[in-house]
Structure 1
Amino acid sequence: MGVLLALALVFSYVESLIPFYFGVPGMKLGLTNTVVVLVLYLYGAPMALLISFLRIILSGFMFGNAFSIAYSLAGGLLSFFCMYLARRFLKLRMIGVSVVGGFTHNVGQIFMAVLLVNNYNVLFYLPVLMIAGCLTGVLIGIIAALIHDRIKHIAVLSQTGEV
């Protein structure tokens, strides 16, 4: 688990270095979601939730502030639970689950922004962020699916203790 958390933190750091700005504050690629989606499929929901939560808290302290932690928690936790539900009950494949995650992450962050800044005008960003979340969700889902196909046997071996 430590290696996966470290990988998520590295992705978080790398993402903070990438100038990705399309007129909407806070828009990111969501590279760290690759790790969360992979862990959800390889090791299950409890471990994926733990990795997501710890990554948000640790990266917030290392690269952000209290507001970034609040926004990330709102988006990350909503995103995780929706991805879990989409996988469990809708039986979506990895790309579909990732799209659900990208979409709902932005919804969670916007609603947290409404609460924190007490201004409903930030809701005008929602359509753009929802489209961006779907597009980046497809990209992250493709990457996660490609990685999953190459490493799923390692996860099985590590769970049986053969690695």
Structure 2
Amino acid sequence: MKQKTAYLGLFTAVAIIFGYVETLIPVFAGIPGIKLGLANLSVLFILERYSLKEAALVSAVRILVIGFLFGNMFSILYSLAGAALSLIVMTLMKKFSDFSIPVISVAGGVTHNVGQLLVAMVIVENTSLLYYAPALLVSGVITGLLIGWLTDEVQKRVPVSYS
């Protein structure tokens, strides 16, 4: 139990640090919402190592802390929607398939962007935001592959915990 709590705390802190680092990295895509998603490495690691419950906890804490420090209420809403949808999809893929971590991460990256886009369309009451969908989907695939590969590498190096 102590080791699990330590991992949850450690990877929550890592997610917050990565969230901060991401604010320092300019993304020149010209499309709002495109980020590397470095903080999702921690969430995916916890999802792989433990379960949806623990991953949701790490995700919620990192979204709230990063949102209050570097964002606003809208960024928190967008992130919570994207995280909820992506966690559900990744959990289902993990449970009912033999997909690799990078493939599961791609699905998470794409559905995270879809969740954010849906919330944005509801907030602004305008479907014209769908013009961003192709770029957001491509970025979800690319960043999902990167985060999935990195998570796979971290999984290989962090000792397995049975508590």
TM-score between both structures, scaled by the size of structure 1: 0.92
SS at match of 1:11: helix
Contact 1:95 1:141 in 2 (8 A): yes
Report the CA distance between 1:21 and its aligned residue.
Answer: 2.3
Map residues 1-163 of structure 1 onto 2, 5 A cutoff: 1-151=8-158, 154-156=159-161, 159-160=162-163
Between the two proteins, the alignment pairs up a number of residues equal to 156
Please report how far the alpha carbon of residue 91 of structure 1 lies from its aligned counterpart in structure 2 after TM superposition. Answer: 2.5
Q: Is the 8 A contact 1:60 1:68 kept in 2?
A: yes
User: After TM superposition, where is structure 1 displaced by more than 2 Å over at least 4 residues in a row?
Assistant: none
Higher mean displacement: 26-35 or 85-94 = 85-94
- When normalised by structure 2's length, the TM-score is 0.92
Q: Percent identity?
A: 44
Counterpart AA for 1:108: G
Q: Which amino acid aligns with 1:30?
A: G
